[in-house]
């Protein structure tokens, strides 16, 4: 599999003027679902007619643009809208967790067309887990060819593979090898991303929204959106709050090998390790008992309170407009209520103005976020330019 197929991050807004590339023309069309007429594109970009038409011809030939229904006009022949051709294009969104993998088939319009939930064990070898996921993905595709796949992983993901995974649940995995194998077997570009960062992207409602998405399931993690842009950090570890030390976890050993991490007291794994809750063998059993077992309710509320104290610092630092909390534990009413109360008690008042603290859309947000990230990477202007050059050659 060639390096050019690997998905990378998208770029900013298209420039205007005669230097606007075919890739940026496509980016402009992608930004407006209704499309633009040729006259509107000439007006927006300031390009010469011959230059614009030449670039549109290349995009038409590559199957990236199509002519849609006529745009209303007061007189004369109505112009036809040019649109990004997202018809019949499918993306795989694969959310790999500690005990299950959610596999989703989506259209580029973010509609989930088919889904499957696959039991896995993340402590198994990378080959075993990847093999199961690929097999189920191919079954779901049923002969259809995706344009790309996004894989959400429960660990920091560094696109340049400089960040080690030694202290994570994926310490025994080689992400570069995982990407190569999946690209070869699925026959499409594959993007790897942290699962909660993907969830944060899927939670975005407004173009310039600032939000923090938090997932509390077996582990704890968060994803950060500032002004509509995903924050990855220098090496892909932004939002890894599960391994911030907190006083409540003093003396408690975390799975990463350190003492005192937030995940040692505020995660599903921590709840299952609580001696008072020893009767529950799985996190699902514990969560299902939250409504009837006072001991579970009390432990869940305490975990929410501890997370709220940690998130209060995030609220003061980033001043988000919304915190969306998801995951098997995070959506429990007792957890969410205690978390919200602690944030409101601890954070500085100006950072709380109009702040929403709500349940995340845990079932679909990660898949939708992965689909969006794949599209942004797959159709980034520089990558489109490479495709057109290859076609011309």
Contact by Cβ (8 Å): 262, 251: no
Mean pLDDT of 213-223: 95
Q: What is the bridge-based pairing of β-strands 90-96 and 148-153? A: parallel
The pLDDT of residue 326 is above 90? yes
3-class secondary structure, 183: helix
The pLDDT of residue 70 is above 80? no
pLDDT digit string (tens) for 42-63?
999 989 999 999 999 999 999 9
Distance CA 355, CA 27 (A): 32
Band the pLDDT of 71: cuts 50, 70, 90: low
pLDDT at 156 (0 to 100):
85
pLDDT digit string (tens) for 227-260?
999 999 888 888 889 999 999 999 999 988 889 9
pLDDT at 1 (0 to 100):
35
Using the 8-state DSSP alphabet, how is residue 8 labeled?
-
pLDDT digit string (tens) for 108-135?
999 999 999 999 999 899 999 999 999 9
Mean pLDDT of 22-35: 92
pLDDT digit string (tens) for 307-324?
999 999 999 999 999 999
**Can you tell me which residue has the tokens 């842009």?**
229
Contact by Cβ (8 Å): 14, 7: no
244 exposure class (CB count in 10 Å sphere: 0-12, 13-18, 19+)? middle
Q: Comparing 90-188 with 203-362, is the CATH topology the same? A: yes
Q: Which residues contact 363 (CB under 8 A, 6 or more apart)?
A: none
The pLDDT of residue 10 is above 50? no
Mean pLDDT of 330-340: 97
Band the pLDDT of 366: cuts 50, 70, 90: very high
CATH number 3.40.50.410 given to 90-188: no
Mean pLDDT of 194-206: 95
**Can you tell me which residue has the tokens 């063998």?**
281
Least-confidence region, from 16-30, 165-179, 265-279: 16-30
pLDDT digit string (tens) for 18-27?
458 999 999 9
pLDDT at 237 (0 to 100):
84
pLDDT at 102 (0 to 100):
95
What residue ranges do the domains of the chain occupy?
3-85, 90-188, 203-362
Mean pLDDT of 340-352: 96
> Which CATH number among 3.40.50.880, 3.30.420.40, 3.40.50.300, 3.10.20.70 corresponds to the domain 203-362?
3.30.420.40
pLDDT at 22 (0 to 100):
94
pLDDT at 373 (0 to 100):
96
Fold held by 3-85: Arc Repressor Mutant, subunit A (1.10.10)
Average pLDDT score, the chain: 90
The pLDDT of residue 5 is above 50? no
pLDDT at 86 (0 to 100):
94
pLDDT at 74 (0 to 100):
54
pLDDT at 6 (0 to 100):
41
Band the pLDDT of 162: cuts 50, 70, 90: low
Band the pLDDT of 262: cuts 50, 70, 90: very high
Give residue 159's Cα distance to chain centre: 14
pLDDT at 77 (0 to 100):
64
Backbone angles phi, psi at 326, to 5 degrees: -130, -165
């Amino acid at each position: 599999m060639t390096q050019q197929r690997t998905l990378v991050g998208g770029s900013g807004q298209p420039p205007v003027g005669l230097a606007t590339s075919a890739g940026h023309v496509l980016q402009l069309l992608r930004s407006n679902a209704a499309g633009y007429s040729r006259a509107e594109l000439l007006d927006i970009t300031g390009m010469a007619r011959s230059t614009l038409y030449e670039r549109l011809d290349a995009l038409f030939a590559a199957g990236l643009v199509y002519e849609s229904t006529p745009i209303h006009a007061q007189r004369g022949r109505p112009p036809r809208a040019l649109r990004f051709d997202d018809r019949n294009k499918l993306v795989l969104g694969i959310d790999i967790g500690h005990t299950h993998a959610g596999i989703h088939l989506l259209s580029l319009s973010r509609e989930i067309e088919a889904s499957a939930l696959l039991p896995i064990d993340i402590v198994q070898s990378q080959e075993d887990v990847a093999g199961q996921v690929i097999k189920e993905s191919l079954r779901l595709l049923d002969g259809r060819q995706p344009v790309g796949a996004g894989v959400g992983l429960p660990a920091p993901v560094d696109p340049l593979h400089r960040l080690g995974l030694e202290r994570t649940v994926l310490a025994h995995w080689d992400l570069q090898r995982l990407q190569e194998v999946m690209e070869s077997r699925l026959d499409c570009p594959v993007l790897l991303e942290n699962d909660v960062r993907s969830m944060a992207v899927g939670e975005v409602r407004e173009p310039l929204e600032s939000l923090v998405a938090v997932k509390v399931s077996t582990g704890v993690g968060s994803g950060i959106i500032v002004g509509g842009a995903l924050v990855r950090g220098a090496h892909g570890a932004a939002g890894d709050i599960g391994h911030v030390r907190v006083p409540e976890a003093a003396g408690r050993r975390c799975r990463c090998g350190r003492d005192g991490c937030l995940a040692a007291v505020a995660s599903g794994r921590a709840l299952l390790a609580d001696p008072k809750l020893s009767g529950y063998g799985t996190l699902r059993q514990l969560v299902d008992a939250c409504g009837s077992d006072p001991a579970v309710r009390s432990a869940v509320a305490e975990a929410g309170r501890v997370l709220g104290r940690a998130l209060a610092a995030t609220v003061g630092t980033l001043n988000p407009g919304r915190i969306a909390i998801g995951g098997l534990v995070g959506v429990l009413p007792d957890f969410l209520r205690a978390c919200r109360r602690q944030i409101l008690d601890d954070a500085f008042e100006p950072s709380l103005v109009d702040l929403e603290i709500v349940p995340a859309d845990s079932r679909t947000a990660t898949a939708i976020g992965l689909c969006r990230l794949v599209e942004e990477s797959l159709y980034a202007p520089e990558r489109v330019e490479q495709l057109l050059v290859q076609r011309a050659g």
